Each structure stands twice: as C-alpha cells, then as structure tokens.
Structure 1
Amino acid sequence: MEFLNRLLGRQTRAAVALSDPYLAEYFGQGGGALSYVDPTRASGTAVAHRCTMLIAELLASVPLHVFRRGDRGGRDRAADHPAYSVLHDMPNEEQTAFDFRLSLTLAILTLGNAYAEISRNGRGQVTGLRLINPKAVTVERLRSGRLRYTETGTPGKVLLQDEVLHIRYRMGPDGVMGQSPLQIGRETFNLALAQNDAAAKQASKGFRPEGAVVFAQSINPNQKLDVLDKLRQKIERNDSTSGVLVLDGGADWKPFAFSSKDAEFLESRKLTALDICRIYGVPPSAAGITDNATYSNIGEESRALVQRCLAPMARRIEQAMNAALLTAEGRKAFFIEHDLAGLLRGDMGARYEAYRVGRDGGWLSANEIRRLENMPEIEGGDEYLTPLNMAPAGTTEEK
C-alpha cells in the first residue's frame, strides 16, 4: 500500500522548514549572508559583547523583589514570601542571584530562549531555580496543549510546563520558541564577522601588499622565479615589512586589492557597529561609540537606555516569572518586579530639587526620601507637610 501511495503521489511526509536557523548548524553550514550565524562568534564581537553584557549586568544589579499588593494601589516588599529569597539572594546552592540573573539574560539575548528548572516544596511553593543549557532543551506541545521540555545530557530530565521557567526574546511563529536576535539580524552579524576576518587576515600578514610586477618586455621563467624570490625576501621578511624597493628593467607594481581607505573599510565597520547597537536597542555611547557624543546627549542616551531597552526586557522577565513562579491565586496578592528607579536618578542637585518639590507639595515624607537615598529612617519622618496656600477644592471657608 505504501508503494502504491508513493506511485500515485498520495504519500505525505513531514516537511522541514528551510528557514529553521538550526538546520544549517546541524549540517555544519556557517557562512553566507542569509545562513545560520554562530552565536558564540557573533556574540563575541566587541560591540555585541558590550551590548549584551551591559543589558545583562544592569538588570542583574538592580533589585528584583516580590511585592504584596496593598490597599489603593500600594505595595510592600513581601520578604516572607518563599520566592523572595530565591530571586533576591540565592536561587540555588551554586549561584548568587546576580550570577543567575546575568546568565538568564545573556541566554535570552544570544539564543533567544532561557530555561530554569523550578524546585518546589510540598506546599507547591518555589524553593529554588536551576539554570538549564538552552542548547540542550527540546520543546514539544502535547495534545493537551501544554508544553513538555526534554533536557539532554547530564542530568537528562523530562519536565512539564509547570516545572520550567521559560523566557523568550521574541515569540516565534509557532508560539512556543523564542527567536534569537543573532538570527533575526544575521546579515548584520555575518557582515561584522566577515569584516573582522578581513582585518585579521591583513593584520596576520603585517599589512603586506599583494600585487603583480609587470615588465615592459617578456622575461624567461628563471628570471620570474628570481624576481619572486627577491620580492619575498624583501617584503615577507620577519624583522621588517618596510623598506626601499627598487624595480628596474621597466618593471611596474600593480596592486591586486583596494586599500582600506579606498574601500572605506573603517567607515563600514563603524556602520556595522551602529547596526548591532540598533538590534539590541542600546545607545551608541553606552556601547563605547563616542564619535558624536557630547555631555548633554550622553545623559539623554543613558535615560533612553533604561526607558527603551532595559524596561521592556525587565517587563519580559517579570511577566514570565509571575506566570511561572506564582499561582493564579497568588498573582492576585503578589507580583514580581524590578526596581529601575536607581538607574533613572540624576545628579545630586537634580535629585534634591525633586525631593524638595515632593516634600513641599505634601506627597513625599522625610522617611520616603531617606529610603530613596539609602539612609535610615528618623523619628517623626512619616508625616506629610500641608502647603499653607493650598486646600482641597470646595473646602475654603467663607469669611
């Protein structure tokens, strides 16, 4: 029957998507502008490394707390919640919270997916998180609609959706896996790698020229070999690649390739570096590109880094943790959130002026200001001031 179906063209086979970025990796293909790009090499370029480490280090350094929802939209740190110490102190016995969150964010920014196994106690409360190598995980959707994660290697495990914290960079078309920024912008990263290879090739040769010696008249083969031998001795000698070269007999030197200046090689590398910054949403000055930086625009770009780059990434991580680490009932009373306020602070003069406005306006107390500045509270510091020339509408007494 199978032969008959094949003969009549009725046999169906599972199709493999040619756009799968890991298909080229499986067959060992690593080049080409539209092909798979090696995450290790691409993330190792100077600008990509600075962008990914900057985002990961800043997010790992800011506080990540479990908050309890208060009355009228208030919030209090829920230090008694089991997940609080896991996220704030140590998620497991081998890693600090900083190391864990740094590795988690780097996996998102390089591979597009980050996984962590969730440990729970007998009451179903989170007691620990263990990082899982994203390259060693396969994900499949069961008939029930839930996900199953299979970890290969050591220790090999099969985990269900409730046992895994899965954070994605950008949801793929299948609605399951995240897409890597290195694969989304693979043309840019492949160009950067090609430029690095070209620069390394020239540097390894000591920037020695390549070209041809053209004679006005033909010479015999022995003379050609003699000319080549003398040129190699002069140009390719180890102690020096410079000196005076005399070409007689009407000989002329014709270079094979353009110089870096003629090919605008350096400018092209600068544009590629800017494109990598655009992919990650990192302002150029934050990545160390200060060609057009000034004192004023560096301050604006620092705020743009928090608002346009770190805040969306923080929200992505927060919502994934809220969904995986808190139950549906627990999310009604608790939530997990980064504190990015410290990254948005201005200098001391700007901060104190803002505190003065809040204190005089009656919506900041002395202790609230002291907590923002990491100072101990004082007695009577919870009182709010009431401006003398203001009162709620409709409460002014008629005289």
Structure 2
Amino acid sequence: MAFVATEGKLKSLSRLELPAASRLQLTDSLSMAYYELWRKQSAVRTTVNFLARNTAQLGIHVFERRGDEDRRRITDHPLAALLRKPNPHTTRYRLIDELVHDLAIYDRAYWQKILTKDGLAALARIPPDYVTEKGESWLYPEYFEVKGSNGKIDVPADQIVFFHGYSNTGIAGDSPLEGLRQTLAEEFESSNMRSQVLRNGARVSGYIERPVAAPKWEREARMQFREGWRAQYTGNGPQSGGTPVLEEGMTFKNASQTAEQLQYIESRKLTREEVAAAYFIPPSMLGIMGSATFSNIQEQHKMLYQDTLGPLLQQIKEEIELQLVPDLTDDELYVEFNLDGKLSGSFEERASAIQTSVGGPYLSRNEARARENLPPVPGGDELITPLNVIIGGQASPSDVTPTAPGISNGAEPPVEETEEETQ
C-alpha cells in the first residue's frame, strides 16, 4: 500500500527555524560578527577573497539545448543581458564576487529581482545581515523580511533568488566560520599574547637582581632607582633598548622572548593552512609554498577549478536555472561558467594539441591577426597549408625530424650498391 503525503501535510509538520545570529563566540566574553571576522582576520579574508575573485573572473554563458549532442550559445537573450549587466550600477564581476563572499562567510546569499511593468529588469544583492526568512513551512521561506536603518519590508519569496548551503533543521546554511571557531579563538588569544610581548620587543625586558651583601637599600633610594629606570629604559625613554649600567653588584636577568621563540611565523602559517582546508583550497594557492614544486602547482591549479570551485559553480548555476530562468523564458535555456581559458594549457600546448587533432593548420592569417587586435589583410581568410602537410601524412611542418643530409623525412635512406651487385 503506497503512502502519499501531500505538500501541505509535509510542510505543516514543523515550522521554519530561523538562522542563528551571524556572530562567532571567540571567548567567554567576546563574540565577533562574521563580517568583522572576515574584515579583521587575515587568513579568513585572504581565503574568501581568493575564492570570490577566481569565481567572479569566469564568464557566465547562456546556452540553448537543441538535443543530446547539440547546443547553441545565446548572446541576445534577456537572460544573457541580465547576467552581463545585473543593474545600471553593478557589473557581472561584482555581482558574482559579492555572491561568493556571502556564501563563503554566511553560507547564504540573496539577490532581489527588480520588477517593472515589462517584467524582470534587474538584480540587486541584499546583504545577508539584513534578511530573515519567514513562514510556517520548513521546506522553503514564504517571504523574506528585509530590515534597514529606516524600517523593514516583506518581500515575496518569488522575488528573491535565495542561495544557501546545508542546515539540519533550518532553511539556511551554517557558516563555514563555525567550523573554524576553535582555530580562530586560539589565533585570537595567541595573537593578543604575542602582541603584548612583542610590544616590548625593542626594550629591555627582565628583572634586576641585587646581591644580598649589597648595602642596605633605603625606601627612598629604591623608589628613586625605580623611577629613574622607568624613565630611561622603558616606554619612550631616551635610552630605551640601550645597555644599562648597574651598580652595587646588580645583575640584569633577561626574561624577554623573541619572535622565533613565540613561533610567530609558524602559528600564522598554521592558521592559514587550517582556513584553506576548511574551504578546500590547496595551500600553495594561498602562498604556502612548503611542499610546492613547479609540477604540482600546475596540477593544483587545475584541481582548483575542478574540485574546489567545481561544486560551488554548480550550486550557483543550478540556483540561477531554478529561480531565475523561468522568470525570463520558457525555452530550455541553461547557464554555464566558462572554464575553457582556466583549464586549458599554455598557448603552445593548446596549439600543438589542436593542430595534431585536426591534422593540419587550423587558423587563417586574419584569425591570428584578430587575436593580436590587428586589422585583417586581403586574402588572409584562407588557410595556408605547407606542401609537406598532407591528409594522412604530417600534421604540421614542425613534425619534421632532423635527418642526415640528403634524406627527406619519412623516406628510406638510399642503399649503396656494392661492386659485386653491379656486376
């Protein structure tokens, strides 16, 4: 017997759970907003900016599906125009850059659809701190409450493009920064400690030992010595960082710690590695070159767009197709990020591979000139095929290998006739 639960019954089982406050508790007495963590914590800012910049750099193309093996890129459709210029004040790069920043910091992001009498006209980002999901269904928000300094408004769900990650009971995701709570708390405490110690790094730090056999020190003399020491050798004193001259057999016991003893560089490097791991970024991409070589950096660069950014790009692509495409067309359109330029090799590698694949030259002179921003020349639209490049033969003139003088490539060397064979 089949059990069927209608959407109405299903969504009435539980109410929408609002996302937690966008703050991270670093210590018992200190919490910091996610945005402030990104703004002030160098490892978080470097990592998130790296993700956002490398995603925003990619173009978004619109395609029409014409079959399982046929598609056509669309450039004059309203969807392509909207993604190319979301609104009169925002570029495509900035819209995607802000989107990835929001997802990486909050695990949720919002675009509001700007509607006119002619339909969807523009897209505008709304900061996550200003938005709250509302409604009785835990399946999806029924509307969004947007707060500002002058009040609040309710925006219908169909006027918001809502991006979010995983959450167990709520509709919005959980910030990746929550998984870094312990790492960031330790970095905060150790950074404060190192800062306090290193603040005295150029000054004499320690204590003075006075021999037992030294003359009795009257209180007035002791206070005078202490005040003189503070005035000369600490803070901004005239002899701060200098070498003091002690009397009565006194000795100075150094108690300062160097940056090396405090493991200043190592701790900063460890924090950056932990944050990079939380966002699945190869360490060498963020300047951590401990085990980097020329070959593995090349492979990690490819891995960045396949394993690190691949899932993120797919998430953005599918949300656009689900929440934005139906507002503009009924056609089978879909979007894709342009990864060709990032995943392809160098120009020489690509040219060699293409030329070998097609079996001959593949660019005309005018096509080559266009790539260099040069004007076309008469007769430059025809392919030049060298005489030693034939179908079924060499793919290019560069396939010629050095041979002995008088021997053409691919030909057998002449056989010298012996005197007996001539007879």
Q: Which residue of 2 aligns with 1:183?
A: 178
Q: Which residue of 1 aligns with 2:49?
A: 53
Query: Which residue identity is paired with 2:123?
Result: L
SS at match of 2:161: strand
SS at match of 1:119: strand
Q: Which residue of 2 aligns with 1:285?
A: 284
Report the Cα offset of residue 155 of structure 1. Answer: 7.0
> Is 1:128 the equivalent of 2:127?
no
Report the Cα offset of residue 257 of structure 1. Answer: 6.0
Match of 1:65 among 61, 64, 75: 61
Question: Higher mean Cα deviation, 211-220 or 29-38?
Answer: 29-38
Match of 1:142 among 129, 136, 154: 136
Deviations 1:313-346 (A, max 9, x none): 1112111211110229968711122111211122
> Is 1:111 the equivalent of 2:106?
yes
Equivalent pair of 1:21/1:183 in contact (CA under 8 Å): no
Q: Supply the distance in 1 between the matched residues of 2:151 and 2:71 (Cα, whole angstroms).
A: 40
Q: Supply the distance in 2 between the matched residues of 1:39 and 1:129 (Cα, whole angstroms).
A: 24
Q: Which residue of 1 aligns with 2:268?
A: 269
Measured at CA, do residues 50 and 387 of structure 1 come closer, stay the same or move farther in structure 2, by a change above 3 Å? farther
Q: Supply the distance in 2 between the matched residues of 1:70 and 1:220 (Cα, whole angstroms).
A: 99
> Is 1:75 the equivalent of 2:71?
yes
Q: Supply the distance in 1 between the matched residues of 2:28 and 2:341 (Cα, whole angstroms).
A: 41
Q: Supply the distance in 1 between the matched residues of 2:56 and 2:62 (Cα, whole angstroms).
A: 15
Q: Supply the distance in 1 between the matched residues of 2:268 and 2:28 (Cα, whole angstroms).
A: 16
Q: Which residue of 2 aligns with 1:229?
A: 227
Report the Cα offset of residue 203 of structure 1. Answer: 4.8
> Is 1:354 the equivalent of 2:348?
no
Measured at CA, do residues 224 and 179 of structure 1 come closer, stay the same or move farther in structure 2, by a change above 3 Å? farther
Question: Higher mean Cα deviation, 238-247 or 156-165?
Answer: 238-247
Deviations 1:52-111 (A, max 9, x none): 2221112112111221112233322222332211112x1112111111111111111122
Measured at CA, do residues 273 and 231 of structure 1 come closer, stay the same or move farther in structure 2, by a change above 3 Å? farther
Q: Supply the distance in 2 between the matched residues of 1:197 and 1:267 (Cα, whole angstroms).
A: 16
SS at match of 1:70: strand
Bigger Cα Rg: 2
Q: Which residue of 2 aligns with 1:194?
A: 189
Measured at CA, do residues 196 and 158 of structure 1 come closer, stay the same or move farther in structure 2, by a change above 3 Å? same
Question: Higher mean Cα deviation, 186-195 or 30-39?
Answer: 30-39
Report the Cα offset of residue 271 of structure 1. Answer: 1.3
Q: Which residue of 1 aligns with 2:242?
A: 243
Question: Higher mean Cα deviation, 107-116 or 290-299?
Answer: 290-299
Measured at CA, do residues 250 and 167 of structure 1 come closer, stay the same or move farther in structure 2, by a change above 3 Å? farther
SS at match of 1:237: coil
Query: Which residue identity is paired with 1:280?
Result: Y
Paired residues for 1:1-399 under 5 Å: 22=21, 25=23, 31-32=26-27, 36-44=31-39, 45-88=41-84, 90-120=85-115, 126-143=120-137, 145-147=139-141, 148-153=143-148, 154=150, 156-168=152-164, 170-217=165-212, 219-232=217-230, 233-238=232-237, 241-255=240-254, 258-327=257-326, 333-360=332-359, 388=392
Equivalent pair of 1:215/1:252 in contact (CA under 8 Å): yes
Q: Any stretches of 5+ residues in structure 1 without a counterpart?
A: 1-16, 390-399
SS at match of 2:171: coil
Q: Supply the distance in 2 between the matched residues of 1:203 and 1:83 (Cα, whole angstroms).
A: 56
Equivalent pair of 1:66/1:77 in contact (CA under 8 Å): yes
Equivalent pair of 2:110/2:162 in contact (CA under 8 Å): yes
Query: Which residue identity is paired with 2:169?
Result: D
Query: Which residue identity is paired with 2:158?
Result: D
Question: Higher mean Cα deviation, 308-317 or 154-163?
Answer: 154-163
Report the Cα offset of residue 236 of structure 1. Answer: 2.6
Report the Cα offset of residue 237 of structure 1. Answer: 3.0
Name the TM-score, length of structure 2 as normaliser.
0.72
Measured at CA, do residues 65 and 209 of structure 1 come closer, stay the same or move farther in structure 2, by a change above 3 Å? farther
Deviations 1:193-222 (A, max 9, x none): 334434444454454354332333374433
Identity %: 21
Deviations 1:251-308 (A, max 9, x none): 3444556443334332222211211211222222221223443322222221122222
Report the Cα offset of residue 388 of structure 1. Answer: 4.7
Measured at CA, do residues 111 and 227 of structure 1 come closer, stay the same or move farther in structure 2, by a change above 3 Å? farther
Question: Higher mean Cα deviation, 74-83 or 38-47?
Answer: 38-47
Equivalent pair of 1:212/1:256 in contact (CA under 8 Å): yes
Query: Which residue identity is paired with 2:229?
Result: L
SS at match of 1:358: helix
Q: Supply the distance in 2 between the matched residues of 1:105 and 1:211 (Cα, whole angstroms).
A: 49
Q: Supply the distance in 2 between the matched residues of 1:213 and 1:35 (Cα, whole angstroms).
A: 37
Question: Higher mean Cα deviation, 193-202 or 91-100?
Answer: 193-202
Root-mean-square deviation (Å): 3.6
Q: Supply the distance in 1 between the matched residues of 2:280 and 2:34 (Cα, whole angstroms).
A: 18
Paired residue total = 356
Name the TM-score, length of structure 1 as normaliser.
0.76
Report the Cα offset of residue 36 of structure 1. Answer: 4.4
Q: Which residue of 1 aligns with 2:9?
A: none
Question: Higher mean Cα deviation, 231-240 or 71-80?
Answer: 231-240
Query: Which residue identity is paired with 2:126?
Result: I
